[in-house]
């Protein structure tokens, strides 16, 4: 049986309802993060946790809500979290030293540490809450953040000479603040929730122990490092740990010490008894790498950096937070039904994303691990899945959900890429050998000429003209094979930077895509070249290098001196370009920049794009970066062949709605007219592929009045027509 194999079959699995992962309106973003690794867990009005990229909450009904840059947070990469009970808000610190304060649906940013130039190393290590203050332990001292005004109030240095010092953690008792630093343990009396700057006391006996963590339950204090635990003020350890690395010590209100411990590739939750023995509460068959522990009445919540979030009460249950279970490093494929995403790298298996969410495939029906998958595609005839592996092909028929492993012609080696041609033949790149074709259930090998380097064959593109474009190894440009699917003559050619032999902007080719007009866009480390080639056995195949006027007024070439990592074409034939400087949306001819998204102006988690994929029906653009995947609801979809019902969203338009109104399911590049019931024209536009956008305003820019409006759609020839209605309730 073809199914998603969970990592921990011996555990009962808690299914948490995800409240965020629904497709939103045009212009809205969604994160598709790997939440397999959880690093932080705190108790507030809900249970809050954090993976590397985003924050989540779990309420009493087990409803999950995800928070990321798409919901207003300012960064990814979470360093520490704490709950402010007085003001009912979550304090989030990031690896770049920025701080967000999440209160309900509002986010307040405190970026003073991040933008400060006073200290070289500003790393945030921990957060403790002291009434209205957040005490942020950093590599230079303790930054005091006002949780009411959402601003930095002061900086405390845990010594009496006001010199910067690396501060690992703080803890608070009834009348004192304790800080563990690179020099050792300090304390300072608290008066009205404040300290005297020269009132620090140094505990000399702890200096030699190399301690870096501290915790308390207001009366009992534990000071520890990865090996030993001390109960302050005693200098003999209450635990000499010889079995693993201590990640956290938690002291219950009854004074019981609980320890999250990592062994070699395993972990456990231990209880430290009065006689210094330990009792295992959760053993290493369940935990791998526990990082933080939260005790909430009879519930033990454990953040595990390998497996996610564990809830232990009467049973042990792993949460399901959604998303791919590994970072996606392979070549994904998307159509109107599924996104097929190989993990590649060192991770076995793959993920799929569809209307039902993410599913992870790690093992086959015989409980055998799937191989490392590299690239993927879907057969347009039967919708079966195909993936390349390090030694063959993986084929999954979605009708009976069975996997089969195929080694065509018994040819061993790394199968790198694959794609179906427009007439249904499957083409596969076999590194070191050439091209494989599956036609009428028979396989055939096509070997490049002897002068072509075969070791290092990787990516390819099969054009509508039956030509296979392969990125040549070792910066040799492009190997172009013309099959006899369209043109009668089979021929191999190599394209380089030479005139009449390719005219590429660089022989270091990085990406390729075919647009709706059949042009081949080739990305290199020095911009883009555009090919419009016919029968290459008879004609020269040279790239056109589009001239672009730069901001300084000089004429250059498209993305000159940029590395073009990936490209995609949307329903309106516009080009999405992924570089090391973000994602760009260009007009169909590439001459106009429509959008430029970076990690600073959008929810992109990184400016380095690996792949861009577009859902043809919804227009959702998926950006896979070198640091997780996100998606953006674009304005263009693939046009319909015939005009059927017009899908209008939202409809009716609710009061107060000021976003875009979308008309979907249109014939390609249709003319769209919005009129009043009496026929008076209000607005006219043209579809982007199969979708048109209206801002709810007239030509003059005024918001239309409430009422019913007619929507007329037709193609340029007037053959395909449609009529719809839209109700406006947000007008004047």
pLDDT tens digits along 162-201: 899 999 999 999 999 999 999 999 999 999 999 988 899 9
Residue 24 pLDDT: 80
Any idea of the CA torsion for 715, 718, 720, 723, to the nearest 10 degrees? 90
Residue 320 pLDDT: 83
Q: Is residue 691 within 8 Å of 617, Cβ to Cβ?
A: no
For the stretch 599-657, pLDDT in tens is: 999 999 999 999 999 999 999 999 999 999 999 999 999 999 899 999 998 999 998 88
Q: Look at residue 563 and tell me if it is in a domain.
A: no
Q: Which residue, 424, 447, 470, sits at the end of a domain? A: 447
Residue 448 pLDDT: 97
Q: Look at residue 341 and tell me if it is in a domain.
A: yes
Mean pLDDT of the chain: 92
Tokens encoding 129: 């809450």
- d(C-alpha 487, C-alpha 350), whole Å: 36
Q: Which residue, 429, 447, 465, sits at the end of a domain? A: 447
Q: Is residue 125 within 8 Å of 113, Cβ to Cβ?
A: no
For the stretch 368-408, pLDDT in tens is: 899 999 999 999 999 999 999 999 999 998 766 688 999 99
- d(C-alpha 684, C-alpha 138), whole Å: 57
pLDDT beyond 80 at 11: no
pLDDT beyond 70 at 554: no
Phi–psi pair at 71, nearest 5 degrees: -105, 10
Q: Look at residue 479 and tell me if it is in a domain.
A: no
For the stretch 27-81, pLDDT in tens is: 999 999 999 999 999 999 999 999 988 999 999 998 999 999 999 999 999 999 9
Q: Look at residue 507 and tell me if it is in a domain.
A: no
pLDDT beyond 70 at 539: yes
pLDDT beyond 50 at 413: yes
Q: Look at residue 306 and tell me if it is in a domain.
A: no
Confidence of residue 147 (pLDDT cuts 50, 70, 90): very high
Q: Which residue, 447, 481, 508, sits at the end of a domain? A: 447
Confidence of residue 21 (pLDDT cuts 50, 70, 90): low
- d(C-alpha 413, C-alpha 392), whole Å: 7
- d(C-alpha 508, C-alpha 514), whole Å: 19
For 66, 169, 250, 259, 269, the CA distances from 295, given in Å and listed in that order, are: 22, 20, 8, 12, 12
Give the domain range for residue 669. Answer: 647-728
**Spatial CA neighbour of 385 closest among 368, 365, 366, 361:** 361
pTM equals 0.91
Residue 158 pLDDT: 96
Q: Give first-to-last CA distance, the chain, whole Å.
A: 58
Confidence of residue 731 (pLDDT cuts 50, 70, 90): low
Q: Look at residue 437 and tell me if it is in a domain.
A: yes
Q: How many domains does the chain have?
A: 2
**Spatial CA neighbour of 664 closest among 571, 569, 728, 585:** 571
Residue 658 pLDDT: 85
Q: Name the residue with higher pLDDT: 366 or 153.
A: 153
Residue 10 pLDDT: 29
Q: Is residue 259 within 8 Å of 273, Cβ to Cβ?
A: no
Confidence of residue 18 (pLDDT cuts 50, 70, 90): low
Q: Look at residue 308 and tell me if it is in a domain.
A: no
Residue 652 pLDDT: 93
Query: Mean pLDDT lowest for which of 2-11, 13-22, 409-418, 528-537?
Result: 2-11
- CATH at 690: 2.60.40.4070
| 115, containing H or E segment | helix 112-115
- Residues with Cβ < 8 Å from 255, sequence gap 6 or more? 217, 220
Q: Look at residue 163 and tell me if it is in a domain.
A: no
């Amino acid at each position: 049986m073809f199914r998603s194999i969970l990592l921990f079959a011996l555990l009962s699995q808690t299914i948490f309802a995800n409240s965020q992962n629904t497709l939103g309106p045009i212009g809205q973003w969604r994160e598709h993060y790997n939440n397999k690794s959880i690093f932080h867990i705190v108790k507030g009005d809900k249970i809050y946790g954090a993976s590397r990229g985003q924050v989540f909450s779990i309420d009493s009904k087990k409803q999950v809500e995800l928070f990321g840059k798409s919901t207003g947070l300012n960064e990814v990469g979470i360093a520490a979290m704490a709950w402010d009970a007085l003001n009912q808000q979550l304090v989030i610190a990031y690896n770049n030293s920025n701080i967000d304060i999440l209160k309900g649906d509002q986010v307040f940013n405190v970026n003073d540490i991040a933008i400060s130039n006073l200290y070289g190393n500003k790393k945030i290590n921990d957060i403790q809450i002291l009434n209205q203050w957040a005490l942020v332990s950093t590599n230079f001292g303790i930054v005091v953040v006002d949780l009411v005004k959402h601003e930095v109030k002061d900086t405390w240095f845990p010594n009496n000479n006001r010199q910067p010092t690396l501060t690992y953690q703080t803890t608070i008792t009834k009348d004192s603040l304790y800080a563990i630093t690179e020099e050792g343990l300090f304390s300072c009396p608290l008066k009205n929730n404040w300290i005297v700057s020269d009132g620090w006391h140094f505990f000399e006996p702890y200096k030699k122990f190399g301690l870096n963590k501290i915790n308390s339950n207001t009366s009992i204090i534990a000071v520890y490092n990865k090996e030993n635990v001390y109960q302050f003020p005693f200098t003999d350890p209450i635990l000499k740990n010889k079995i693993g690395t201590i990640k956290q010590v938690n002291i219950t209100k009854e004074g019981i010490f609980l320890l999250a411990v990592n062994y070699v590739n395993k972990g456990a939750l231990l209880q430290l008894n009065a006689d210094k023995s330990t009792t295992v509460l959760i053993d290493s068959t369940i935990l791998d790498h526990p990082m933080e522990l939260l005790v909430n009445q009879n519930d033990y919540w454990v953040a595990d950096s390998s497996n996610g979030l564990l809830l232990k009460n009467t049973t042990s249950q792993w949460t399901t937070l959604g998303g791919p279970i590994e970072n996606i490093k392979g070549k994904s494929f998307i159509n109107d039904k599924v996104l097929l995403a190989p993990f590649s790298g060192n991770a076995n298996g793959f993920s799929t994303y569809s209307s039902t969410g993410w599913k992870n495939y790690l093992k086959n029906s015989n409980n055998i691990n799937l191989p490392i998958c590299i690239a993927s595609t879907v057969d347009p005839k039967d919708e079966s899945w195909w993936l390349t592996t390090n030694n063959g092909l993986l084929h999954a028929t979605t009708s009976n959900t069975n996997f089969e492993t195929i080694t065509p012609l018994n040819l061993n080696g790394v199968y790198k890429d694959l794609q179906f041609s427009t007439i249904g033949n499957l083409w596969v790149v076999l590194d070191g050998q050439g091209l494989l074709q599956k036609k009428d259930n028979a396989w055939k090998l096509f070997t490049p000429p002897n002068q072509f380097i075969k070791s290092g064959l990787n990516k390819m593109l099969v054009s509508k003209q039956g030509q296979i474009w392969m990125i040549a190894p070792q910066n040799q440009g492009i190997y172009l094979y013309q099959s006899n699917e369209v043109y009668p003559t089979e021929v191999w050619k190599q394209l380089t930077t030479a005139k009449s032999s390719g005219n590429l902007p660089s022989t270091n080719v990085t990406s390729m895509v075919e647009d709706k007009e059949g042009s081949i866009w080739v990305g290199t480390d020095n911009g883009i070249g555009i090919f419009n080639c016919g029968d290459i056995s008879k004609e020269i195949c040279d790239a056109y290098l589009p001239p672009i006027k730069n901001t300084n007024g000089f004429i250059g070439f498209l993305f000159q001196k940029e590395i073009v990592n990936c490209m995609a074409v949307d329903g309106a034939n516009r080009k999405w370009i992924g570089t090391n400087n973000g994602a760009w949306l260009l007009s169909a001819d590439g001459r106009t920049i429509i959008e430029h998204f970076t990690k600073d102006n959008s929810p992109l988690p990184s400016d380095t794009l690996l792949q861009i994929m577009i859902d043809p029906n919804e227009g959702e653009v998926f950006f896979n970066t070198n640091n997780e995947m996100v998606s953006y609801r674009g304005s263009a979809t693939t046009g319909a062949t015939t005009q059927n019902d017009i899908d209008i969203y939202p409809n009716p338009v609710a009061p107060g709605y000021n976003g875009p109104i979308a008309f979907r399911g249109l014939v390609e590049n249709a003319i769209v007219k919005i009129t009043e019931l009496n026929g008076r024209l209000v607005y006219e536009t043209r579809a982007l592929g199969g979708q048109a956008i209206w801002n709810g305003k007239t030509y003059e820019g005024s918001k239309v009045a409430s009422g019913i409006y007619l929507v007329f759609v037709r193609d340029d020839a007037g053959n395909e027509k449609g009529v719809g209605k839209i109700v406006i309730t947000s007008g004047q």
